[in-house]
Amino acid sequence: MSNLLAKLISMKYKGKSNIKEYIMEISNLASKMKTLKLELGEDLLMHLVLISLPAHFRQFKVSYNTQKDKWSLYELISHCVQEEERLWRDISESTHLSSTSQNKKRKKTKGAAEGSFQQKKPKKDEEFTCCFCKKSGHMKKECPKYATWRVKKGLLVEPTAK
């Protein structure tokens, strides 16, 4: 009897097996204890199961404790299976999100290593290329087409002739 009780109290769900099988194993130990004239109430059995669940079932435990209704063992199994499925779904979604975000980071890092995200400073003997008209020999701030465009848009007063 003491061995069964020690095993029952020390059991922890590690997530390696099915939670339904785990709860049924606890119930089986409790029924063996019942044959030895030590009956555990269903409420006590419920709390033993909840205590043995790992930390990622914390939200589930809180929701059980805040409800007025008490579940039967079969209802607990049903709710635990649903919660386990939800947790696995969340884990797979977060794994997918983290793997896709890591791929994006790798692409950006690779581009930065190649210099595609870095601005190149022209050397003294290199020609400048205007990013407005795409002609070489001047920069945007010195571009006559850019100055004309700004006057046309009303962003700049037309320069006076010197």
Among residues 124, 145, 150, 126, which one has the least CA distance to residue 134? 145
pLDDT tens string 116-150? 445 555 555 557 788 888 888 888 888 899 888 88
pLDDT tens string 17-71? 788 899 999 999 989 988 888 888 888 888 899 999 988 888 888 888 888 788 8
In a 3-state reduction of DSSP, which class is residue 15? coil
